[in-house]
Amino acid sequence: MIVKVAITQKPPVLLDLKSSLNKAVEIMNEVSDMGAQLVVFPEAFLPGYPSWIWRLRPGGDMALGNKIHTKLRNNAVDIASGGLDSICEAAAKLNLVVVIGMNEIDSEFSGSTLFNTVVVIDANGKIVNRHRKIMPTNPERMVWGFGDGSGLRVVDTSVGRIGCLICWENYMPLARYSLFTQDIDIYIAPTWDSGDSWIASMNHIAREGGCWVLSTATALQGEDIPESFPERDNLFPAEEWINPGDAVVIKPFGGIIAGPLHREKGILYSDIDLGAARDSRKALDVAGHYNRPDIFHFEVDRRTQPPIKFIDDSNGSD
């Protein structure tokens, strides 16, 4: 089965959920017109990756950081309250599978915790998986809570079996293996990372897992940051490339067949043959004939869990 995929690295409208949703639908219509059956958006596309956290001084810019975080929280996606309805409706209308990253607000437990989330929406408009990043990286922990194992799933879609890990989760061997054990066709890695080292890792994953690997970050310059962003000019020089994007398509067992799309605010297209994934695992199937379950034991807790709560035991109680 041949599938035409589209990987967008166009920037959203940072901290503006409504405008970013509208932009996502515009992109979906654009790739559909080009014949794409699957579209992949970057990490935290709705309403943008919190790149400011890598620029604020730890402990020194607390007031500014809190101000920006409030805007992010007020523009986060509430899936439980229909925050993705416009995307799901467009997916069904266009018969398009959508993988999209977002800042998700937890309305089921605390009402304020944010998660770095990626969802898979099938061509019928139904959300078939929600994965919350299980380990935010470094200062990301000031923005996002910890996800759980409930989204470490490979799901059937109209374009094959899809699994996702977000950014540096892809450096977690057991997280990768949890997807490899589920007969994966297309491994999708929305990210904020880029460059030769990242692409080399994606090549390794394609070889290790015997699957197609699709990855992208947001191609973003300082000039793409809205004027309304607090202290924009101090944080983001207009001409600076904050992220080059580097969308890429890698074939099973390794080898780039499209991209990287470097410093282009555009869309990368490629045709992929789903059968190539299983064909490539003839020599190396790390979850099958190249596995040693008599030596290694592996299990995943896929229960949905509430956000981690930290207990103050400074009074000496157990």
C-beta of residue 192 within 8 angstroms of C-beta of residue 48:
no
pLDDT digit string, tens, across residues 156-196: 999 999 999 999 999 999 999 999 999 999 999 999 999 99
Give the pLDDT score at 276: 94
302: pLDDT strictly greater than 90: no
Residue 94 has pLDDT above 70, yes or no: yes
Mean residue pLDDT across the chain: 93
**Residue 85: per-residue pLDDT:** 97
pLDDT band at residue 308 using 50, 70 and 90 as cut-offs: low
Q: Where are the domains of the chain?
A: 2-280
CATH homologous superfamily for the domain 2-280: Carbon-nitrogen hydrolase (3.60.110.10)
- Residues 288-317 have a mean pLDDT of 73
Angle at 169 between CA 112 and CA 287, to 5 degrees: 130
Q: What is the DSSP string of 150-180?
A: GG---EEETTEEEEE--GGGGG-HHHHHHHH
Residues serving a catalytic function are: 43
Query: Does residue 312 register a pLDDT over 60?
Result: no
pLDDT for res 36: 98
